[in-house]
Structure 1
Amino acid sequence: MNSAKTRIAIVRLSALGDIVNTAVALQIIHKHYPNARIDWYVEEAFAPILEGHPLLHEVIRVPIKRIKKTKSFQLLRESIRHLRSRECYDHIIDAQGLLKSAIVASLIRGKVHGFDRNSIREKLAASFYDTTSDVPYETNVIKRNVMVITEALHIPYDEQDILHKAPLFPQQERPSVLKEGKNIACVIGASWPSKCYPKEHFATLCSQLPYPCYLIWGSDAEKLDAQWICEHASNAIIAPKMSLRELVNFISHCDLIIGNDTGPTHMGWAMNRPSITLFGPTNERMIYPTPINSAIKSPSEVNILKINRHDFSIREIDPDSVFQKAKELLA
């Protein structure tokens, strides 16, 4: 396929885990459009994870959160002007399906493709698209992201493209902080308290594991939890504060990632590293299971269309069940 002049825009603004789980599409696009110029529109806080990616032509920062926080009309006006000034694209794909992403996509010049009204939470977003895909919201998120992009580009969907992906982000040298031998990363935070595995359970789990357990944290509160875990598990280590790029590289050199349903845990799958994702109020729809990437779900029922953020059933996952799965993957 001659794709020398094909210009493609992907709009996936946030969050970190969703960006990580969408990046697999870059390899699929490149396979069918090897000479295409692909731009990615993203919330500015998450831009560093994509900047410098070998399959991207440009990463465009969109300051939506800053506009909301500052209520700056000037910043809003400048952002709109910048979006409208971009070159016209052959394909614009809203891979997020929210009103904010649909508005951003509609401000860029070119025809916009997205999910149809029956496939998204914010149905009004579908009215901003020229063409749409019917991919049920309950579909596995990685498949869903790939399907809307491949359909927009008239690429055949092939599950093997996901199963046999290369690592999704560039890998750098092994971080010097990691010890010789095997190392485990434990992602102890998440966006909601109900998604967090208790620090007491993490301490028990770390004490059982035979290798250093680096505790990944992203806020002062999470660092305090990490300190508590270290006081109760001798092989637990507080990981250093890291940029997004440093975090991806750190994860890529660990032998196992154990964590909550959040972006840093999903990086394990993205970098083809063994991982265990712990679920309470959400479920296995959020990961792509493989022989080395598994999930442990609490006993609660999940309605993916109406998530119960007060479901703290993740506390019911026995640390021993996580340990047994970790033993299998470490073997």
Structure 2
Amino acid sequence: MRIAIVKLSALGDIIHAMVALQFIKRHLPDSSIDWIVEEGFKDILINNPDIDNIHTVNIKQAKHKKSFKLLFSEFKKLRKLPRYDLVIDLQGLIKSALVSRITPSDKTFGFDKNSLRESFAAWFYTDTYNIDYDENIIMRNIGLISSALDITISHDEILNKKLFLFSNSKILPSVISDNKPNIALIPGASFKSKIYPVEQYAQIAQELDANFIVLWGNESEKNMAQQIQKIAPAVQIADKLTLDELKVFIEKMDLVIGGDTGPTHMAWALNVPSITLFGSTPGYRNTYTTNINHILESESKVNPYKIDKNDFSIKTIKVSDIVKITKELLKDKP
């Protein structure tokens, strides 16, 4: 069976979809799987042995430039792809549904109109699957794929998943310690209400005997890293990393602490302990908890259909709670 998966963006969402690859290959070992993704996110997918081909589009760029010519060119590129037995849209947006429909296939499978925020997307699929929109995102992805491929993926399989991010990078970061637990702090996020205050990150570092390293991806995040270091001078700041290098870095950590953002979710993908902090976004929906991957949520009542970007309740999460979980997760570390 030739399968194409459509998940265009963003980093964390792609990670939450990628976990299904190993289960598809386990249940359908002779299948081939291609992935259609926005150009800027392809590096999170590279080197995964369960992906046969990665096809990129630049729909986001076409939208930004308001260029119908570029958009038409991207759609034309999709029409030239080989014919698939099945295209599965794990994004569930109108743009991804269009991509799925244009890609040559016998069937296009996606969420039904009652399972989507952009319900019109369902009209582009030949077959649909129903699951509550506010259900855990990993379970939504697994449910859709299980239905589309007529396979069963169990909770135990997800809990016992193999790591599924791979890199060719040979980076050996000099900031990593051989004597203390290495803890990565991820201060950045896609919007401000997902960001935990720098003063509280610094306080975490001051209360624990560990090697803290702040990761950043743009100038704003670098500035946050410098603010943390100014308060807690022992904290180190990593060099700017490519996506491929970031995989290696996260895998070498003993713990990752951050908000609801891609680099924090990478820890779950790499079977690295993590604490993910949630305020304006729903923790119960946006990650998969395990005995090493924990979440801490504010007391906000979050509506996943309409995220309140003015909800800064993440700052009410207590440093003492983060420190307590950190000590539990690192109790076996020297």
For the aligned pair, the TM-score class normalised by the smaller chain equals over 0.9
SS at match of 2:257: strand
TM-score, with normalisation over the residues of structure 1?
0.96
Structure 2 match to 1:176: 173
In the TM superposition, what are the counterparts of 1:124-143 in structure 2 within 5 Å? 124-143=120-139
Q: How far did 1:175 drift?
A: 2.2
The one-letter code matched in structure 1 to 2:164 is L
Note if contact 2:173-2:249 (Cα within 8 Å) is conserved in structure 1.
no
Unaligned runs of 5+ in 2: none
Of residues 144, 151, 161 in structure 1, which corresponds to 2:140?
144
Count of matched residue positions in the alignment of Structure 1 and Structure 2 = 326
2:46 paired with 1:51: yes
d(CA) in 2 for partners of 1:169 and 1:270?
A: 7
SS at match of 2:185: strand
d(CA) in 2 for partners of 1:317 and 1:272?
A: 24
SS at match of 1:46: helix
d(CA) in 2 for partners of 1:263 and 1:76?
A: 27
Structure 2 match to 1:234: 233
Range with bigger deviation, 270-279 or 78-87: 78-87
Note if contact 1:214-1:237 (Cα within 8 Å) is conserved in structure 2.
yes
d(CA) in 2 for partners of 1:39 and 1:25?
A: 13
d(CA) in 1 for partners of 2:68 and 2:122?
A: 26
SS at match of 2:236: strand
d(CA) in 2 for partners of 1:328 and 1:310?
A: 32
SS at match of 1:269: helix
2:17 paired with 1:22: yes
Unaligned runs of 5+ in 1: 1-5
SS at match of 1:210: coil
Note if contact 2:171-2:245 (Cα within 8 Å) is conserved in structure 1.
no
TM-score, with normalisation over the residues of structure 2?
0.95
**Over the residues paired in the alignment, what is the CA RMSD in angstroms?**
1.2
Q: How far did 1:174 drift?
A: 6.6
Note if contact 1:118-1:134 (Cα within 8 Å) is conserved in structure 2.
yes
Structure 2 match to 1:157: 153
Structure 2 match to 1:275: 274
Structure 1 match to 2:316: 316
Question: CA 1:77 to 1:174, structure 2 compared with 1: closer, same or farther past 3 Å?
Answer: closer
Structure 1 match to 2:85: 90
d(CA) in 2 for partners of 1:243 and 1:128?
A: 35
Range with bigger deviation, 96-105 or 209-218: 209-218
d(CA) in 1 for partners of 2:34 and 2:291?
A: 32
d(CA) in 1 for partners of 2:38 and 2:173?
A: 31
Q: How far did 1:230 drift?
A: 0.5
Structure 2 match to 1:305: 305
SS at match of 2:288: coil
Structure 2 match to 1:296: 296
Structure 1 outlier segments of 4+, above 4 Å? 171-174
2:226 paired with 1:222: no
Q: How far did 1:60 drift?
A: 0.6
Q: How far did 1:173 drift?
A: 5.3
SS at match of 1:126: helix
Structure 1 match to 2:31: 36
2:326 paired with 1:330: no
Identical-residue share of aligned pairs (%): 45
d(CA) in 1 for partners of 2:153 and 2:73?
A: 38
**What do the CA deviations read for 1:20-59 (whole angstroms, capped 9, x no partner)?**
1111100010001112110000011000111222111111
Q: How far did 1:70 drift?
A: 2.6
Note if contact 2:184-2:256 (Cα within 8 Å) is conserved in structure 1.
yes
The one-letter code matched in structure 2 to 1:114 is G
d(CA) in 2 for partners of 1:292 and 1:52?
A: 25
Note if contact 2:48-2:164 (Cα within 8 Å) is conserved in structure 1.
no
**What do the CA deviations read for 1:105-153 (whole angstroms, capped 9, x no partner)?**
0100111000001101000000000000111111111111111112111
Q: How far did 1:233 drift?
A: 0.7
2:191 paired with 1:195: no
Range with bigger deviation, 137-146 or 163-172: 163-172
